[in-house]
Amino acid sequence: MNYLILLAPAAAILALLLTGLLRRYAIARSIIDVPTERSSHSVPTPRGGGVGIVLSFLVMLPLLSMWDIISNNILWGFFGAGSLVALIGFLDDHGHIAARWRLLGHFSAAAWILYWFGGFPSINIFGMTIYLSWLGHLLAAFFLVWMLNLYNFMDGIDGLASVEAVSSCLSASFIYWLVGYSDLAGMPVILSMSVLGFLFWNFPPARIFMGDAGSGFLGIILAGFSIQAAWHDTNLLWIWLILLGVFIVDATLTLFRRFISGCKVYEAHRSHAYQFASRKVGSHLPVTFSILAINIFWLLPIALCVALLGLNGLIGLLVAYVPLVFLAFKYHAGESELSASSR
């Protein structure tokens, strides 16, 4: 993995510089997030800095392919899907795209990445190999679209989406190295370094926000990593789902509870557990660091048990998620602010 010695710092530096330029661009064009009653920030802040992550990562992909680190199928799958999702997000950051057109673009990106990957592989559950055929491909498409949208939902306080991407990518890369799939670690390491360059500007208190271009891009790329890994070993799919557990649980439970309570799930809100937690402590930084600690000291050890100690992946997932569900309920995920404050 000597190539990473060159590409990883280059990705971080490129993202750092690009994000600084994008901040100037956003200020000049008045691309600013102005606080509202549904915001988790209190100061007008430029948005769209996630384009720096996008460009930094995509520039590195052809180099990984040129050095035979990734195949052409993987290159085109990630490059095409990531570019389309980022473009949709960029246009939405600059104006507004109707939800139906965004979803059409998102499913097109999901179909693209699945086409180049060969669809969704068979998976092993309790020793049984299950191939879901077209149903598996369809479920994988919904998974990709859900992941890119939930990442957008979870990008609501300073540094959170960045810290989640960096910690999950580096954790997965560490596990890849331990179990003999070190060649798979290239893209997650490059992505983590691209995000790290952006995080310099996004660390609390943020000087620029990621925007839909960056958050949607991260969501579909991370989901793509999990499907790519599943083609090598089913356990690696479970490992990615475990490592991304905080985001998956908070976003999914919040959406479900809002749906059953009759709320319009597509409307902006601030009823995620992490948003309630940040208002309770009065700051973004403690929440972001707390989730980083959960990722490192809870989710990573469970993922290591699946990878190295033979813990069944599905059981590992359930063990990982139970406390996360408890925390989500504790911090009122999906409840209205009025009902939560009355308790």
Rounded Cα distance between 197 and 17, Å, is 8
DSSP structure string for 2-48: THHHHHHHHHHHHHHHHHHHHHHHHHHTT-EE---TT-S-SS-EE--
Q: Is 158 annotated as a binding residue?
A: no
Distances (CA, A) of 306 to 22, 242, 321: 41, 10, 14
Q: Is 72 annotated as a binding residue?
A: no
* Sign of the torsion formed by the C-alpha atoms of 58, 59, 61 and 65: positive
CA-wise closest residue to 212 among 98, 93, 104: 93
Burial class (CB in 10 A: 0-12, 13-18, 19+), 5: exposed
CA-wise closest residue to 215 among 116, 105, 82: 82
* Sign of the torsion formed by the C-alpha atoms of 156, 170, 145 and 250: negative
HSE-CB for 57 with a 13 A CA cutoff: 31
Residue ranges for the known binding site for Mg(2+) are 152, 212
Binding residues: 152, 212
